[in-house]
Structure 1
Amino acid sequence: MLIFYQAIMALAGFFGLTRVLRLPQPFLKYILALQCIAIILSFTSVDSILLFYLPVLLIIIYAAIAKDMTTIKRSIIVLIALPVLAHGVFTMNHWPHVYELKFLQLLPLALYAGVVLPKRNDYYLELPSLTIIAADALIQVISLMVR
């Protein structure tokens, strides 16, 4: 199963790498570069969980401080990233109810598939990072169903 999970993240990371140089905003480039580095490190024995969830926090901060963003777009980005970040924090700290938080990963998947993909031109700058975040949510949902 680990190879399947790594394949999903590798595809999302490849999509991100193809877009990283085209992004005009340096903050988004750094976020995407951190996500791609975390994906690459996940293929090694290095524990990259903190490095993966740091960019998720940064994308929430980006949504909060970006000036040219509508409130709906801001909310969609936060609602996609926040459940994934919450799951990561609970997992890293070994807090209870991590299993229940996996059910919450359906929200980022639904928003990504129902809002971001149909309006991908509106989310052009954030699409690579949101794709990687949605891939992580997909892995959590799949691991929930396999269990």
Structure 2
Amino acid sequence: MMDIPAYETDNIFARIIRGEIPNTTVYEDEDVLSFMDLFPQSEGHTLVIPKKAEAVNFLDIDPNILGVLIQRTQIIATAINTALRPDGIRLIQFNGEAAGQTVFHLHFHIIPVWQNANMKPHADSSGNGQADPVTLQKLAERIKACL
């Protein structure tokens, strides 16, 4: 059985929510923040996080907050689909370190997929996979235009 660790208020996503770390915002309202992944697996890789819930993962979030988070994730994924026209979209959410979770604040990955295109590995923070901030901003603007 997976143990769920206590929520740490200094995790990178909590710091982004508080405005301590910049991000390339795609969507924001009082409940949800969505931004471009700095280490994208593909063009348009976007993250969606709850702003109010101090939830480590899917198993410890209030179902009502989760409902809002899922609704916003669908809206953002639809905008990505319209803006970037991928061949498919992966929605991924990791629970626990053994499952690949690297930031212990509940979040969803929206990853556009194109046939015959190579995907970068998950959580490749080696420095080689970090996206250009100008490129991320342009992608975010394209997606925002379709919201």
If the length of structure 1 is used for normalisation, what is the TM-score?
A: 0.29
If the length of structure 2 is used for normalisation, what is the TM-score?
A: 0.29
More helix by share: 1
Q: Greater relative contact order: 1 or 2 (C-alpha under 8 angstroms, separation 6 or more)?
A: 2
